[in-house]
Amino acid sequence: MNIKSQKIGSLDTLKIENHFCEAVISFQGAQVLSYKLKTKNGLSEKLWLSDLNKYQSNKAIRGGIPLCFPWFGKSHISDSHPSHGFARNILWEFKEVIESEDGHDLSFELVDNEETIEIWPFEFSLIQTIHCGQSLSVEFELENRSDKSFDYAFAWHSYFAVEDIFSTKVEGLQDAEYIDQLNQNKCEIQQVEDIIVDGEIDRIYPKTQGNFVIRSELSEFTYVQTNTNSAVVWNPWIEKSRRLADMRDDAWKEFICVETGNVLPINSLAPNQKDKFNLTIYV
């Protein structure tokens, strides 16, 4: 087993290798950029990462597993605040790495500072622990260190690599209510068993069971488990991909986002209390 520091663009990252996988994690955002399982056929990448990223400080990295916090989407406070919050755009402190027969566990911490207080006036500690082994797990632990309650939302904006978007299906959301962000935020009930991506899709599922399967005719099934409440399914398709500067025009063919977190309703956390959530990805 080994772990080493490396630069990607201007950003510091860690590369992890063990018996099960190779992974890359950025100090900015404590963001998993790559997770490659070791198989009998070689390395198998489970996450998608845009090859047009410039890896600049304070600029969001397209792909992998960005953490959206303390809000999802646009801020309700001000249009000038960063989309999906500040957590993915700033440096976290690397706390420790623990090696075991099961792989590596790495912990990163983000605490309030002048930059965060200016746009979200609360004291907090957020620890993200990432397990890299036969499975990829991410744990979110938030502590309110303020003297008053605060509201927040969060999501792991996971980009899953697929070899064939046309045969890709997402299971686990049948009969769930969703908000269609492409149809004036209209509320619908998913009647079909599987989501098939045959056009742009952008749906928020406020309440789910937390178990999903991503399957494709050309890829191994990917299983997603979480104790969070919400899910978001997103693919930009053709036209929106052309409008995104950090994505190739045809990149929509290569990924599906199945994002998990607590997006709706907004969470409230009392002083000195903690919230803890987890996400596990395996094949």
The residues carrying an active-site annotation are 157, 259
Residues 13 and 6: beta-carbon distance below 8 Å: yes
| Exposure letters 202-230 (e unless 16+ CB within 10 A, then b) | bbbbbebebebebbbeebeebbbbbebbb
Q: What is the largest CA-CA distance in the chain?
A: 54
| Rounded Cα gap, residues 283 and 156, in angstroms | 19
First to last CA, the chain: 21
Q: What sign has the CA pseudo-torsion 66, 256, 134, 263? A: positive
Locate 122 and state its tokens: 């609360």
Residues 73 and 81: beta-carbon distance below 8 Å: no
